[in-house]
Amino acid sequence: MLWDVINAISRSDVVVEVVDAREPLLTRSRKIESYSAKKGKKIIIVINKGDLVPKEILDKWKAKFSNEGIRTIYIAATLHQGTTILRHEIREALKGNEGTICLIGYPKTGKSSIINALKGKHSASTSAHPMSYGFTKSIQKFRIDNKIYAWDTPGVIPPDGSLFERAIRGYPVEKIEDPVKVALMLIEKILAFNSKELSRVYKIEFSDGIDLLKKIAVKRGWIYKKDKEPLIEEAARQLIRDYHDGKIIYYMLPSSQY
Ligand SMILES: Nc1nc2c(ncn2[C@@H]2O[C@H](COP(=O)(O)OP(=O)(O)OP(=O)(O)O)[C@@H](O)[C@H]2O)c(=O)[nH]1
Ligand SMILES: [Mg+2]
């Protein structure tokens, strides 16, 4: 899979690194950036899913990455917001010449959705959850317009990826080995961001992460038949899916400590 990405980079003029606006630092790969730079490729960072984060925060992330000398823009691919500026950045990077870009990034950052937004129609298949029906399995080239071609690549957790991103994006939700552990990590992050958000989404008051998972399971009727215990694994998977679906409002701040 990483090989697919390296292959696409080598066949492109410009590398478009797609990060999730909610977790820009955790979904960027300095390793892939420095590899691309070493190969002489121009890099554009695209902060996608901008609709899930307030504009002033997006501006801060943009300023942060721009200060590092990387062209950066933010967009909301599925809402077709920011596509004109993205097209402009790509043309600029290609100096008006015909050329090829590649979209790279962690699973589920919206690479295929960006291809569709640039093309103006649904051409690349997309999916809401890691490795669920429609995710990108191999590199594929698309024609964006009469001068620009784009490689769509499979989402890959790069070698410098965090354990958390690996756990939450690296596997299909139903195959996560310990969904409760992953959900508890996620709950902790969300609570630190906004202590009321999970009560708002699930309409449940709770004392801690496990209590929340138990109450979600009970509320949805996910109970072990044998001993009537709540199926917290199922609740944990649901919470992870809700995060992927953008139902829970959570984002990192550029000022946070990592
Ligand atoms: N809210 C929101 N959701 C988005 C946006 N862009 C993409 N998505 C959603 O994010 C999910 C993943 O989108 P994809 O385009 O399949 O992501 P990908 O990076 O190609 O995923 P892989 O091929 O698995 O690596 C889908 O459910 C999209 O609808 C966006 O701008 N805003
Ligand atoms: Mg894809």
Q: Could you report the per-residue pLDDT of 33-88, keeping only the tens digit for each?
A: 999 999 999 999 999 999 999 999 999 999 999 999 999 999 999 999 999 999 99
> Which residues, 6 or more positions from 235, have their beta carbon under 8 angstroms from its beta carbon?
183, 212, 213, 214, 216, 217, 220, 222
- Among 4, 46, 108, 248, the mutation site with the greatest number of ligand 1 atoms within 8 A of its Cβ is 108
What's the pLDDT score for residue 76? 98
**48 C-beta closer than 6 A to ligand 1:** yes
> SS3 for 11?
coil
Please tell me the predicted confidence (pLDDT) of residue 186.
Answer: 97
State the pTM of this model.
0.97
Token pair 């010449």: residue: 97
Residue 254 near ligand 1, beta carbon < 6 Å: no
Measured from the Cα of 105, ligand 1's closest atom is 19
Tell me which residue has tokens 């129609």: 121
Q: Give the residue ranges of the chain where pLDDT is below 70.
A: 257-258
Instruction: Tell me the sheet residues that pair with 142.
Output: 150
Would you put residue 143 in left (φ > 0), alpha (ψ -120 to 50) or beta? Answer: beta
Q: Determine whether the shortest distance from the Cβ of 162 to ligand 1 is under 6 A.
A: no
Residue 112 Cα to ligand 1 middle (Å)? 7
Write the burial class of residue 55 (CB in 10 Å: 0-12 exposed, 13-18 middle, 19+ buried). exposed
Among 113, 151, 242, residue to substitute to test ligand 1 (most atoms within 8 Å of Cβ): 113
Q: Is 7 in the pocket of ligand 1 (CB under 6 A)?
A: no
The alpha carbon of 155 and the centre of ligand 2 are apart by a number of angstroms equal to 7
> Is 186 within 8 Å of 167 (Cβ atoms)?
no
Give, using CA atoms, the residue closest to atom 28 of ligand 1: 128
> Which protein residues have their CB within 5 A of the ion that is ligand 2?
111-112, 136
Tell the residue nearest (CA) to atom 16 of ligand 1. Answer: 126
* Short-list 150, 140, 139, 95, CA closest to 117: 150
Give the atom of ligand 1 at the shortest distance from the alpha carbon of 155.
25
Average pLDDT, the chain: 96
Closest atom of ligand 1 to CA, residue 76: 31
Handedness of CA 42, 47, 49, 50 (dihedral sign): negative
CB 75 within 8 A of CB 49: no
CA–CA gap between residue 198 and residue 211 (Å, rounded) = 12
Residue 14: both structure tokens together: 């410009």
Residue with tokens 């038949």: 225
